[in-house]
Amino acid sequence: MIRPILRYGERPLHERAADVTAFDDDLHRLIDDMIETMYAAPGIGLAATQIGVPLRIFVVDLSVGRKAEDLIVMVNPVFVERDGTQLEEEGCLSAPGFNATVIRPGRVLARGANRTGDEQTIEATGLLARAFQHEMDHLDGMVFIDRLRGIKRDVIVRKIQKLRKSGKW
Ligand code: NI
CATH assignment at residue 93: 3.90.45.10
135 as an active site residue: the answer is yes
Instruction: Please report the sign of the dihedral spanned by the C-alpha atoms of residue 101, residue 106, residue 110, residue 116.
Output: positive
Instruction: Please report the sign of the dihedral spanned by the C-alpha atoms of residue 74, residue 76, residue 80, residue 83.
Output: positive
139: CA distance to ligand 1 center in Å?
10
pTM above 0.75, yes or no: yes
56: CA distance to ligand 1 center in Å?
14
Mean pLDDT (the chain) is 97
6: CA distance to ligand 1 center in Å?
10
113 occurs within a structural domain: yes
DSSP secondary structure letter of residue 126: H
Per residue in 113-140, pLDDT tens?
999 999 999 999 999 999 999 999 999 9
Range of the domain at 43: 11-165
Overall number of domains in the chain: 1
5 occurs within a structural domain: no
pLDDT band at 5 (very low <50, low <70, confident <90, very high): very high
Which residues are within 5 Å of ligand 1 (an ion), measured at CB?
92
Per residue in 8-45, pLDDT tens?
999 999 999 999 999 999 999 999 999 999 999 999 99
